[in-house]
Amino acid sequence: MKTLRFTRILALGSVLVLTACSPPPAMLKADGVERVSVDRSAVTGELSAFRASALKLGDALLRDGGAGNVIASPGSLLIALAMLRAGASGEAAAEMDAVLGLPAANRDEAMNALLASLEQFDGDPGSVDESNPPLKPLMHAANGLFVDKNTATGEAYLQTLAQQYGSGVYPVDFRDEATTSPAIDAWVDKNTGGRIKKAPAAFDPDNTFSVLNAVYFAGAWKTPFSANATSEAPFTKAGGVKVNVPMMHGLQDMSYAEGAGWQAVDLPFGEGFVMRLVLPEAGTDAVDGFGPEKLAKIAEALGAAGTESVQLALPTWDHQSNFDLREVLGALGLRRTLATSQDFNAIQHGMRITQAAQAANITVAEKGTIAAAVTQINAEAVSGRVVVSQRTISFDRPFQYQIVHVETGLPLFMGKVADPR
């Protein structure tokens, strides 16, 4: 069995009291607690629930983003919420399970298996030459838990993080904004390869708890587009307005599927990931009518489709988005979760959620794709070859996309292109 040894964290009774640490703080992990190894085949049902939950979160993020371009990371948000759920109880726990569709059992074990599956693509975002994305994609996921060193944090909660998430805590003094705010920003900058410089939530010295998840993706297309084949072409925006944009062209081998009102392809990266592109019929909104259930059916159709040659026209784009997740999660129905000061006592006594935010960006070009996102939840304790093309598809009007981890089916990133410019 694969195990990982962790360095010592100081315990006092049933809670953990953390000693001071100069910035940048060192991560402390539970002494003698080993990260367990989970057989992914034993949690297939739970992983399926995570995929459905991520699609629901992604749909909510895209709808919150409005009529323009949107880039979000439902995968990052799901991981951050799973870490929060690990310390929830009572009505908030029941609400999170019901609203998000989280697994009733083996939730943390399944997330452990999902994270372990992603780790085969892990690496240092700072090592990437973004002008030449790697053929084997680099997918870095990092969990950062910053807790106030003067506030007791539940030992059982931290043991769960160590056992299932391979994570510990960064002890800080939230009252010392001059030290703690730059430390959190430095964590964000490091784990996104500098694509996101600051934490998405405004710093609040009253907080005692901040959980962050960062995801960074860099990958070259399996078959790159030729820069010589990129040319200005019309893109029809919602409402019928046409604009000229750089449009990539190429003959690609990929999965193709279509249904009533849509066409979709899985454009492969070098290995392990695809960009799922969903093109609605002309005059149809790229989000309305494409809820999580339909997106799941599109994923199923693409999974069953064989590989064929497709003549593809795809614009380049470079987009970014920011979200107030309290609004997104509240609209989904997590009202008790956002209001309670009783159901997160296993983390910190009297803890209530004060802030939740996400920042994300993506760059898509001839050689590949670079994307990054950070999700933050804060709280305070109160108390190619030449073949004959069989298909042609041109993404010359608003469309939706995902970056999907093939092995688990998890949509790490999800977005909408309303105007590639």
Note whether 263 and 352 are same-domain residues. Answer: no
Give the total number of structural domains in the chain: 2
Residue 86 lies in a domain: yes
Residue 255 lies in a domain: yes
Note whether 262 and 173 are same-domain residues. Answer: no
> What is the token pair recorded at 229?
């084949």
Q: Indicate if the pLDDT at residue 29 is higher than 90.
A: no
Do the beta carbons of residue 406 and residue 55 sit within 8 Å?
A: no
Residues 212-227 have a mean pLDDT of 97
Note whether 250 and 120 are same-domain residues. Answer: no
Q: What angle do CA 268, 270, 274 make, to 5 degrees?
A: 30
Q: Indicate if the pLDDT at residue 360 is higher than 80.
A: yes
Q: Is 325 helix (H, G, I), strand (E, B) or coil?
A: helix
Question: CATH number, domain at 251?
Answer: 2.30.39.10
Residue 105 lies in a domain: yes
Residue 110 lies in a domain: yes
Q: Indicate if the pLDDT at residue 217 is higher than 60.
A: yes
Residue 6 lies in a domain: no
Do the beta carbons of residue 401 and residue 267 sit within 8 Å?
A: no
Note whether 52 and 179 are same-domain residues. Answer: yes
Q: Give pLDDT, residue 389.
A: 47
Residues 404-412 have a mean pLDDT of 96
Please spell the DSSP secondary structure of 140-198, one letter per residue. EEEEEEEEETTS-EEHHHHHHIIIII---BEEE-TT-HHHHHHHHHHHHHHHTTTS--S
Q: Is 318 helix (H, G, I), strand (E, B) or coil?
A: strand
Q: Give pLDDT, residue 32.
A: 72
Q: Indicate if the pLDDT at residue 40 is higher than 70.
A: yes
Residues 339-367 have a mean pLDDT of 96
Residues 357-370 have a mean pLDDT of 97
Higher pLDDT residue, 39 or 387? 39
Question: CATH number, domain at 191?
Answer: 3.30.497.10
Q: Give pLDDT, residue 104.
A: 86
In the chain, the percentage of residues whose pLDDT exceeds 70 is: 92
Residues 180-184 have a mean pLDDT of 96
Query: Which stretches within 194-245 are classed as H helix?
Result: none
pLDDT in tens, 72-91: 999 999 999 999 999 999 99
- For 135, residues 6+ apart whose C-beta sits below 8 A from its C-beta are 219, 220, 270, 271
Q: Indicate if the pLDDT at residue 332 is higher than 70.
A: yes
Note whether 135 and 207 are same-domain residues. Answer: yes
| Radius of gyration of the chain from its Cα atoms, rounded to whole angstroms | 22
Higher pLDDT residue, 411 or 27? 411
Note whether 196 and 237 are same-domain residues. Answer: no
Residues 180-188 have a mean pLDDT of 96
Length of the chain: 421
Note whether 208 and 138 are same-domain residues. Answer: yes
Residue 29 lies in a domain: yes
Residue 33 lies in a domain: yes
pLDDT in tens, 118-172: 999 999 999 999 999 999 999 999 999 999 999 999 999 999 999 999 888 899 9
Q: Give pLDDT, residue 374.
A: 97
Q: Indicate if the pLDDT at residue 117 is higher than 50.
A: yes
pLDDT in tens, 246-304: 999 999 899 999 999 999 999 999 999 999 999 999 988 888 889 999 999 999 999 99
Note whether 50 and 130 are same-domain residues. Answer: yes
Note whether 268 and 395 are same-domain residues. Answer: yes
Is residue 26 very low, low, confident or very high in pLDDT (cuts 50, 70, 90)? confident
Note whether 285 and 247 are same-domain residues. Answer: yes
Q: How many CA atoms lie within 13 A of 113 on its CB side?
A: 19
Is residue 386 very low, low, confident or very high in pLDDT (cuts 50, 70, 90)? very low
- Give 275's strand partners: 267, 403
Note whether 180 and 257 are same-domain residues. Answer: no
Q: Indicate if the pLDDT at residue 388 is higher than 70.
A: no
Q: Is 15 helix (H, G, I), strand (E, B) or coil?
A: strand
Residue span of the structural domain in which 397 resides: 227-318+385-417
Residue 57 lies in a domain: yes
Note whether 252 and 201 are same-domain residues. Answer: no
